[in-house]
Amino acid sequence: TNWEILPFAWSGIPEFLQGLDFYVYYHSDSWSEAFGRTILEALAVGLVTILPTHFQPIFGDAAVYAAPRDVERVIDKFINDVEAYAQQSALAKDFVSRHHSADLFQQRLERLFGIARPRD
């Protein structure tokens, strides 16, 4: 196998993700992942992200959905179609920009707590 296990650390995440071509995320059926912050981080850097179908209501067209047995086929499709890869990468970045930007986060906090922070 060609695996490298890295220690958990907060710093270096964007650099690590930018070194990948794809982000594939599957977890045990006995575990519940309600949102998927790591998925959002991968989408933010424009990675083609492959997920199980139960994430589709959360991430929409920003990700690609497949059964684990189909992941290799999905990756091959994008490797052989550079334009499709670029389009999916753009969808990922656009999704994060439209739904999870820092400005939107601030607006949500302001609505939630009724606090307006002075803008620069």
Report percent pLDDT > 70 for the chain: 91
* pLDDT level of residue 45 (50, 70, 90 thresholds): very high
Contact 48, 23 (CB under 8 A): yes
Contact 100, 58 (CB under 8 A): no
Does residue 60 surpass a pLDDT of 70?
yes
pLDDT, one tens digit per residue, over 9-36 is 667 788 889 899 999 999 877 777 666 7
Q: Which domains does the chain have, with CATH numbers?
A: 13-113 (3.40.50.2000)
Predicted TM-score (pTM) of the model is 0.80
